[in-house]
Every structure is written in C-alpha cells, then in structure tokens.
Amino acid sequence: MDLESSKTIKEYLHQANRVVITSHIRPDGDAVGAVLGLGTALQEAGKQVQVVLADGIPAVFRHFPGSKLVSRKVQGDYDLAVVLDCSDLQRSGGVLGDRKPEINIDHHVTNLEFGIVNLVEPEAAATCEILGEFLPRWGFTISQPAAALLLAGIVTDTIGFRTSNTRPHTLRCAADLMELGASLSEVYYHNLLRQSYEAAGLWGKGLTRLQRQDRLVYTSLSLEDKQQIGYNGNDDADLINLLSTIDDADIAIIFVELNGGIVKVSWRAQPGFDVSRIAVKFGGGGHLAAAGAQIPGTLEEVTRIVLETTAGMASEGLLNNEPDHE
C-alpha cells in the first residue's frame, strides 16, 4: 500500500470545497458505486459535489441510492477532480477537458497513473473495496447509503465474490459495510439475481451464435439483435459472465457492435491466464481475468483479427500467468 499517496489524498479531500468525481464510459457497478459512494461521503462531510459520468447512469443502476446526483457534464468551477475505477483518462470520456485530475484511485493492473496522486491497487477486487478501506482512515464517515453503494460495487465487480481476485480482505471489507447497514441480500437481489426480459432475449441471440475454437469460446451481438429484442443498453447484458462459466474453454470473448463502426470486445479468462495483455494491444485494458477494448471495424473484421491475435498469443504462451500472481 502506498502510504504517501494515501496521505496526500486525505489532504486533498479535506482541503477541497467543490469536488468533481468521475469514472469510465459505459460505467459498470463498481464505477457507479464508487462515484456515488465517495460523492455521498463527501457531501455528508459538507462538500459541494458533482458526480459526472460521460454516459450518464445506465438504467440497471438507477435503483442505486443517490443516482439522481449523476450528470453528464461538469458545471461551473471546482477545485478538486477525482477519477475512480478508470485505467486511462481518455476512458472518462473527456468530462474533465484538459485538466489533469488531482486524484486517481483504481484497481486496474493497466492503470496509467495519470493523476497528480495515484492510489492504484491491482490486488483489490474493486475500486469500492479501496474506498471502503480508506474512507474511514481518511476521516470520512460511511453512512448506510454510502455503505450500500460501496457493497454494490464490490458485489458486481466480483460477480458475487466469485472472481479469482476476491481475497479475504474483500470479504472483511464487505462485512464492515454490512455492519454499517448495507444489506448483502438486497445488493445481490438487485444486481445479480434479476434480469430484464429483454436482457434474457439478448442472451438467447448470443447463445444461438456461440462458437468454439480450440480453448476459446465466443459470440457476438449486433445492433440489429438489440433492435429486434428491444434491448436499450449499449452493453452485452452481462452475457460474457455466462460464457465464462463454460467448462472446456480457457478464454471467453464477446463482440458487441456499437454505433459508429466500433466493436466492444470483452475477454474473460480462467485462472492462470492474463487477458489484459491482449486488451492493451488493442488500446484497451483491464485485469488478468477480465479485460476489454473498443476496436474500430465491422463485427466480422474485428472478430477475425481478435480471434487470430488471441489464439496466436495463447498458443505462444504469451497469456500464461503464474496463478500465484493473480
């Protein structure tokens, strides 16, 4: 742990009056839980807070406490910028303009340390885990709503404590958040156990197209699929989590067509592999077991090049990773 960075962050947070907090585009539960969790804690400490996400808040997270705080653009002046759960500044979608953020807190192994002060802990299972540990140390109270937000981030990023980066510390942190009033069963219910009818329909589209090539399984979702099903999100409805349960594959990949000739690629790997290395090659990033990139091209083009590269790197052993280092 970086004690010097932690001390500087504490000073920045206490001295600031007007804070902007942001995270990555296409925000997931960890991004939304982190920005709203920190935002809530700072608001309760008397700060003026703007929580800004370039893509706004996806419908699936509108039940998060304080979700109405989220806007898409910064308004007016501010004296502190905090970026959470975001491995490179570009991925925040430009909400800060040219400004270098004072604080960067993240758990991606691919983080580019773009802040004036950086607290990057790749061993942490979620950015919300880092905040759950540090907020009390920095002298901020975690109220019940903030605890629920941070727990939601941890539970979604670990898919319910299932991912290989879940460590004893993650569970202790989750237990602390429960003691602060967060309900684990409610967080589970709302974030992992319920799906919309349209999301299930989209899974159907992807599953009928499922393919296998050696130790890879993959599928795709087109804009037309989403339109036919009436699915409004610009994500894969978490279908990748289902693909990653397939037993006789090491790596699962999903290709999701986005507007503007871009394909979002998600990789998931079994323990012993590091797919962040492929994602970085395509300008993306992530973790050993879960990584993503946005790649220009048609579904067919991107599928071909990504499969070729992934299979090539895998066969050369370039994706192997010592399980001890996970």
Residues that bind ligand AMP (CB under 6 A): 24, 87, 91, 108, 266, 284-287, 290-294
Nearest residue to 222 via CA among 206, 239, 208? 206
Nearer CB in complex with Mn ion: 113/300: 113
Q: Give least dist CB 230 to ligand AMP, A.
A: 22
Write down the residue that tokens 């981030």 correspond to.
Answer: 153
Pick what 292 binds: ligand AMP, Mn ion, none; C-beta below 5 to 8 Å, kind-dependent: ligand AMP
- CA 131 to CA 127: how far, in whole Å? 6
> Whose Cβ is closer to ligand AMP: residue 43's or residue 266's?
266
In the complex, least distance from residue 286 CB atom to ligand AMP, rounded to whole angstroms: 3
Least Å from the CB of residue 266 to ligand AMP:
3
Strands 251-258 and 262-269: antiparallel
Identity of the residue, 121 or 142, whose beta carbon is nearer to ligand AMP in the bound complex: 121
**Between residues 225 and 236, which has the closer beta carbon with respect to Mn ion?**
236
Which residues does residue 264 pair with via DSSP β-bridges, in sequence order?
256, 294
- From the list Mn ion, ligand AMP, none, pick the one residue 47 interacts with, judged by a Cβ distance below 5 to 8 Å according to partner type: none
- Cβ distance to ligand AMP smaller for residue 40 or 111: 111
CA atoms within 13 A on the CB side of 229: 23
Residue found under tokens 């539960």: 29
Instruction: Name residue 98's amino acid.
Output: D
Contact 144, 186 (CB under 8 A): no
Shortest CB 292 distance to ligand AMP, Å: 3
